[in-house]
Structure 1
Amino acid sequence: MKTFKKSCLTVMLFVSTAATVFAQEAAKPAPKEKASPAQVVDGTINGATVQIKYSSPAVKGRKIWGELVPTDSVWRAGANEATTFETDKPLKIQGKTLPAGKYSLYAQTGAAEWKIIFNAEVGQWGIKRGGLTTRVPEKDVVVVTAKPTKSKTFNERLVYTITGKGFDLSWENLTVPVTFK
């Protein structure tokens, strides 16, 4: 009888422990989505294979243009690391040649016109502690202008789209087309 009682106690202890372990497993929170997930877009512009790597921030109820991204300031054109633009062939843009290579992509926002900046330094974090970009102007390779337009749809997340003749940067209520010749 003692053996039977010990066996019953052992079984009850095992069942109780197992129930506790499984209950704690069920309590694990679901993994969170990154605030600004990394994105890569590949495509062809005028016969050149291009790739844009960026981190895609969300609006999250904030006013983007003129507040989160101040007007007339240089912006890293994404979140986290500086956005990169890579081409396997030279491209012409507004009469300037962008040689084949990899560049950091910055944008200087403006109400009516933006500057799009292709910079030779890559691999750096996009901003310094004070909030200014890590762009070194002396390393700019090509600087061109683009005119922002109202988006056809609201874009909760920053998105780059490669078109046959260039790329579009779209976020919140703006799209900025950058066209190569």
Structure 2
Amino acid sequence: MKKLILLTLMFGGLFNLTTLAQQDKSKRASPPALVSQSLTSGASVSIDYSRPSLKGRSLNELAPAGKVWRTGANETTIFETSQDLKIEGQLLAAGKYGLYTIPGEKEWTIIFNKAWKNWGTVYKESDDALRIQVKPGKSKEFTETMSFEITKNGQVHLIWADTQISFEIQ
């Protein structure tokens, strides 16, 4: 009898995970977004992510300093480039990458991870393709819902709360 109950619970849990993975992304609390840009260098770059909102919480509550953060919500945020790029002077091969960050007061680490087709909290440092460090800045205005911008000349901006994290791609 105990085995039957255990099996029922296991299958129920798998059903719930499958249902969550297949649900309409537009109905989630953190809606999906896609930003893309053709750079002056000829490369196409895109970031596919879900946009969490602060909802009265601090940025540090949602993206704790010193800990790897999935840089968004739901599935892994995907950074894709059609050509090899230099990011802050370091080479990143063309392809898709999971985009993670490690927030900090004086410095943020931006991580491009080879595993991009995961739930956002799945992360293995051994899969990192590139890590860069950037200094956080103040955003022009307070932003409730996290967003990314990519400019034609290769500036990428992550903007959330009163913080802006930027890096250059060429």
Q: Normalization by structure 1: what TM-score?
A: 0.75
Once the two structures are TM-superposed, the CA of residue 55 in structure 1 deviates from its matched residue by: 0.2
Aligned positions of 1:136-155 closer than 5 A:
136-155=124-143
- Whose Rg is larger? 1
Q: 1:137, 1:87 → 2: CA distance? A: 21
Kept in 2, the 8 Å contact 1:170–1:176? The answer is yes
Find the residue that maps to 1:82 and give its secondary structure.
coil
Q: 1:94, 1:170 → 2: CA distance? A: 18
Does 2:45 align with 1:50?
Answer: yes
**Residue matched to 1:8:** none
Once the two structures are TM-superposed, the CA of residue 60 in structure 1 deviates from its matched residue by: 0.9
Residue of structure 1 aligned with 2:94, choices 96, 100, 104 = 100
Over residues 99-129 of structure 1, what are the superposed CA-to-partner deviations in whole Å (9 max), with x where a residue is unaligned? 00000000011101111000011110011xx
Q: 1:151, 1:125 → 2: CA distance? A: 28
Once the two structures are TM-superposed, the CA of residue 33 in structure 1 deviates from its matched residue by: 5.5
What RMSD over aligned residues (CA atoms) do the two structures have, in Å? 1.4
Query: What is the number of residues matched between the two proteins?
Result: 143
Find the residue that maps to 2:142 and give its secondary structure.
strand
**Residue matched to 1:81:** 75
Q: 1:78, 1:69 → 2: CA distance? A: 9
Kept in 1, the 8 Å contact 2:88–2:167? The answer is no
Kept in 2, the 8 Å contact 1:56–1:159? The answer is yes
Describe the shift of the 1:170–1:110 C-alpha distance in structure 2 as closer, same or farther (beyond 3 A): same
Kept in 2, the 8 Å contact 1:44–1:162? The answer is no
Find the residue that maps to 2:126 and give its secondary structure.
helix
Q: Normalization by structure 2: what TM-score?
A: 0.80
**Residue matched to 1:26:** none
The list of structure 1 runs, each at least 4 consecutive aligned residues, that deviate by more than 6 angstroms after superposition, is none
Identity of aligned residues (%): 42
Residue segments in structure 1 that go unaligned for 5+ positions in a row:
1-31, 128-133
Aligned positions of 1:23-172 closer than 5 A:
34-45=28-39, 46-64=41-59, 66-127=60-121, 134-163=122-151, 164-172=153-161
Q: 2:155, 2:85 → 1: CA distance? A: 10
Residue segments in structure 2 that go unaligned for 5+ positions in a row:
1-25
